[in-house]
A and B are shown apart, each in its own frame.
Chain A
Amino acid sequence: MSEATRLVIFGVVIIASILAPGSVEAHTEGGLAGGFISGFTHPILGWDHVVAMVAVGMWGAFLGPPAIWLLPVVFPLVMAFGAALGIMGIPIPAVETGIAASAVVLGLLILLAAKLPLWAANVIVAVFAVFHGYAHGVELPAATNSFAYAAGFVIATGLLHLIGILFGLLIAWPFGAYAVRAGGGVISVVGLAFLFGIV
């Protein structure tokens, strides 16, 4: 069996699995599972959040150690602080602008291959994390289980960083550096689209 045939069979199996008829679920499960799913999907379903969190991971990988792991440590900590502000109703100005600006700025920093000092990188990421966390806090739905919601929310954020880090690790190869910088450019453009309300 040739390689191409194997790939076709693999693709057909994957597509068939996705399209296979399953039971209809009008609502998510309640309790622990519902809370976790609700929290897990919250950061993933907002594209403005997704691009910014992936950008944090990519920029961390671009900066190298210790930023590669320190930025994903700082981001969830400060994001949770921002979420707490949102939950308690403490106002913060220009939240939407801050979220869109985070994608623009982080994307540009990756595009320009900016190697800022570690403290400056941490401050930039922390400031933007407050806006992202605040938006999540304000939008917090009636989660069935707060612990499961919070766990799902934080783990999803961490996994988005991980995706960014894995993509950012491509800089080890010459073509990879261009790919990562191009990815930063795309993130910046997406951020601009959100900033001007195009999407």
Chain B
Amino acid sequence: MACALAPTDAAAHAPIPGLMGFYVGMLHPLSTPPQLLALLALGLMLGQQFPRDFLVCWIVFAICCFAGMVLGQTVGMQGTEDAWLLAICAIAASLAALLPNGFVLPWLVLAGGCGLLVGIVSTPDPGHWRPTLITLAGSFVGANLALLFSTGGVGWLTEHFSQPWVRIGLRIIAAWIAAISFLMLALVVSGASDTKQISPSEDAQSMILERPLMRPVARAIQAGRLLCGRSLACGPRRDKLRGA
């Protein structure tokens, strides 16, 4: 009792060297909406048939996550990772909503892609190798734990509650996540950031044209405009928007 109550130095943060970096890395996969949504979508996709094919998907995710971290350190980030993460999230959540029985091949591709991108975006700022390694280790553990928890949570729900509304509810949540991802993907692709005025103008197209990876989207826009003509889209809402 005396030992427990003995006065010592107050430590508001972890006194173990490197633990803070590990902790920061571990929370990183949960810190941005694209990563969080993608891990949730994967969990909903894999968890509805848990434990079917989960182990192989998880191994692929972990290997790709490691590969992504190596890529992030060597090649660096390209700036389009969030868009790709949101695209994977939208596809995974759509599959979870519409085809909950699923097929293992798309699951593997999506798990691998998600792992790779989460690994790339987990790359910390350049610095000494030791704290970098500790932060990356934290991110690796955090990403894998997040996938385990989301998949396990969904699997537990479907296993312990046999009522049909549980599976229906999960599919509706998956549909909502897919819809949110689609919307965010459109915002990212159109170049509208959180602090920027969002308006569907010609500026959006020119922003897309500037990005090599987004050229197919720009071509689709041009084809759409040729097909329909700009004037056809001018309803009262758009006029109101332009007037404002």
Contact = CB atoms under 8 A, between A and B. Distances in A.
- Same complex for A and B? Answer yes
Interface of A: 69, 72-74, 76-77, 79-81, 83-96, 135, 137-147, 149-151, 153-155, 157-158
A93 B227 CA distance: 10
A87 B198 contact: yes
A158 B172 contact: yes
Contacts of A91: 224-225, 228-230, 232-233
Given A83-B186, A96-B236, A137-B186, A76 B179 contact: yes
A83 B232 contact: no
A80 B182 contact: yes
A133 to B, nearest CB: 9
A138 B198 CA distance: 9
A37 to B, nearest CB: 15
B175 A90 contact: no
Given A73-B175, A88-B186, A93 B98 contact: no
B167 to A, nearest CB: 9
A28 to B, nearest CB: 15
A176 to B, nearest CB: 21
B183 A153 contact: yes
A84 B198 contact: no
Given A73-B172, A77-B94, A89-B200, A83 B235 contact: no
A147 B184 contact: yes
A119 to B, nearest CB: 13
Interface in B27-42: 33
A81 B94 CA distance: 12
The 7 closest A-B pairs by CB, nearest first: A84-B186, A91-B233, A80-B182, A80-B179, A89-B200, A150-B183, A147-B33
Contacts of A135: 235, 237
User: Which of B193, B200, B229 gathers most chain A CB within 10 Å?
Assistant: B200
Interface residues of B, number: 49
Nearest to A66: B168
Given A73-B97, A73-B175, A140-B198, A83 B224 contact: no
Interface string B152-189: 00000000000000001001100110111111111101
Given A87-B186, A88-B204, A135-B235, 4 more contacts: A85-B186, A90-B221, A138-B241, A140-B198
Interface in B194-211: 194-198, 200-202, 204-205, 208
A143 B228 contact: no
**What is the predominant secondary structure among interface residues of chain A facing chain B?**
helix
B238 A138 contact: yes
A147 to B, nearest CB: 4
User: Which of A146, A153, A155, A158 gathers most chain B CB within 10 Å?
Assistant: A146
Interface in B215-244: 217, 220-221, 224-225, 228-230, 232-233, 235-238, 241
B59 interface: no
Contacts of B232: 91-94
B194 A143 contact: yes
B228 A73 contact: no
Given A69-B172, A93-B233, A137 B200 contact: yes
Nearest to A95: B235
Given A87-B186, A88-B221, A89-B205, A142 B171 contact: no
A46 to B, nearest CB: 10
A81 B31 CA distance: 26
A80 B183 contact: yes
B108 interface: no
